[in-house]
Amino acid sequence: MHPDVAKLVDAGRIPKPVGERLSQLAPGNFCLHKSFGAGKVIDWDLPGKKVTIDFERSSGQVMELQFAFQKTEWIPTDDFRAKKIEQLEELRTLAKKDPVELIVHLLQSHGGSMTGEALEKQISGAVVAEANFKKWWDSSKKALKESRRVVVPQKRTEALVLRDGDRTPAEALVADFEAARDIKGMIKALEAIAADIGAFENEVDALKRLLHDIDEGAKKAARVQLGQALQLVAARDEVIGSSKALELDPTAVRLSDLILTADSSKLADEAGTLPSGRQRAIY
């Protein structure tokens, strides 16, 4: 608690919880405002019940203390948004040298997840030049996936999620599959698993858990998205084929099952959209 505020609490002029909140608005602290963005408290006038804050989008903003209580949220000095105010050059350097660490720090400051759109708003312009952002983000996404520290979605409107640091590489790959929101995401996750099958050398059970989920997903997709169902089963077969410890369960859905039950004209159209390697698996 700030010393000036502690005196008010000790004198019984304000309750302790109010004093703790008031101390968050002491000069040198950082806060967030819905419209003005992040800000640093520059000065306060306790007798006059006013506080002055330099916000990102409104420098020298003078507020009534009661209004600041209600409309701002305290953030720690190591929060990404606070560092944009005090240590912007350090963030810019980090964006060049270690974009994965920069993004992990950003996610940590947002409770472990945020959408790609929200990430762009935080970084583009201030930390990475707007003209360079797309190129930077494309290379950063690749590095994020390789690091396995973050679940990277296909769409900008979906959330990037910071992984539990205690997960093994195999657990991280399985988590990507489990986090997939649609068949396309499941296919991408299976492709990543097949490409890094060595990570499962001592964790085959983690892969076996996926097989039932793949079966269920393929059955549902076959009714309305035959092409994606075919791709999903083909991707599963690629994973099984890349691991000596896995084999297809006798009751599992097979490509032949989907082909035999599909409308022939629909099958031709859907199969024609598949990658050539998977077309060969079907034909």
Q: For residue 4, what pLDDT is reported? A: 87
Residues 243, 207 within the same domain: yes
DSSP string for 60-114: EEEEEHHHHHHHEEEE-TTSHHHHHHH-HHHHHHHHHH-HHHHHHHHHHTTTTEE
- The three-state secondary structure class of 13 is coil
Residues 223, 193 within the same domain: yes
Residues 218, 273 within the same domain: yes
Residues 97, 62 within the same domain: no
Does residue 283 have a pLDDT over 60? Answer: no
* Residue 80 is assigned to a structural domain of this protein: no
* Residue 36 is assigned to a structural domain of this protein: yes
Residues 218, 191 within the same domain: yes
Residue 242, judged by CB atoms within 10 A of its CB (0-12, 13-18, 19+), counts as: middle
Does residue 277 have a pLDDT over 70? Answer: no
> Distance between alpha carbon 155 and the CA centroid of its chain, in Å?
11
Q: For residue 102, what pLDDT is reported? A: 98
β-strand 37-45 against 50-55: which pairing, if any? antiparallel
Q: For residue 83, what pLDDT is reported? A: 97
Compute the average pLDDT of residues 13-42.
95
Q: For residue 279, what pLDDT is reported? A: 57
Which pTM value belongs to this model? 0.68
Does residue 167 have a pLDDT over 90? Answer: no
> Distance between alpha carbon 25 and the CA centroid of its chain, in Å?
30
Angstrom distance (rounded) from CA 45 to CA 267: 74
Residues 193, 283 within the same domain: yes
Residue 21 is part of a domain; what is its CATH number? 2.30.30
Q: For residue 124, what pLDDT is reported? A: 97
* Residue 81 is assigned to a structural domain of this protein: no
Angstrom distance (rounded) from CA 52 to CA 179: 44
Residues 158, 180 within the same domain: no
Residues 175, 257 within the same domain: yes
Query: What domain count does the chain have?
Result: 3
Does residue 224 have a pLDDT over 90? Answer: no
Last residue of a domain, one of 163, 180, 207: 163
Question: What's the Cα-to-Cα distance from 234 to each of 122, 149, 212, 268, rounded to whole Å?
Answer: 39, 27, 15, 16
More confident residue, 118 or 263: 118
Query: Which region among 14-23, 165-174, 239-248, 272-281 has the lowest average model confidence (pLDDT)?
Result: 272-281
Of 11-20, 102-111, 208-217, highest mean pLDDT: 102-111
Compute the average pLDDT of residues 83-95.
97
The per-residue pLDDT for range 61-79, each reduced to its tens digit, is: 999 999 999 999 999 999 9
More confident residue, 187 or 82: 82
Identify residue 160 by its one-letter amino acid code: L
Q: With bands split at pLDDT 50, 70 and 90, how would you rate the model's confidence at 275?
A: low
Q: Domain limits at 230?
A: 166-283
The per-residue pLDDT for range 125-165, each reduced to its tens digit, is: 999 999 999 999 999 999 998 887 888 877 889 889 888 77
Q: With bands split at pLDDT 50, 70 and 90, how would you rate the model's confidence at 97?
A: very high
* Residue 195 is assigned to a structural domain of this protein: yes
Q: For residue 272, what pLDDT is reported? A: 62
Does residue 239 have a pLDDT over 70? Answer: yes
Residues 9, 71 within the same domain: yes
Last residue of a domain, one of 75, 95, 123: 75
Mean pLDDT of the chain: 87
Last residue of a domain, one of 147, 163, 179: 163
* Residue 71 is assigned to a structural domain of this protein: yes
Does residue 207 have a pLDDT over 90? Answer: no
Residue 152 is part of a domain; what is its CATH number? 1.10.10
Residues 150, 207 within the same domain: no
Q: For residue 182, what pLDDT is reported? A: 84
Q: With bands split at pLDDT 50, 70 and 90, how would you rate the model's confidence at 15?
A: very high
Residues 170, 158 within the same domain: no
* Residue 44 is assigned to a structural domain of this protein: yes
Does residue 276 have a pLDDT over 80? Answer: no
Q: Determine which helix (DSSP H) or strand (DSSP E) holds 8, and give its type and residue range.
A: helix 3-10
Helices (H) and strands (E) in the chain, counts: 15, 8
Q: Among candidates 242, 230, 238, 218, which has minimal Cα distance to 267?
A: 230
Q: With bands split at pLDDT 50, 70 and 90, how would you rate the model's confidence at 282?
A: low
Which backbone phi and psi does 83 adopt, to 5 degrees? Answer: -65, -30
Residues 25, 52 within the same domain: yes
Q: 32 forms bridges with which residues in the sheet?
A: 38, 73
Q: For residue 263, what pLDDT is reported? A: 66
Identify residue 67 by its one-letter amino acid code: F
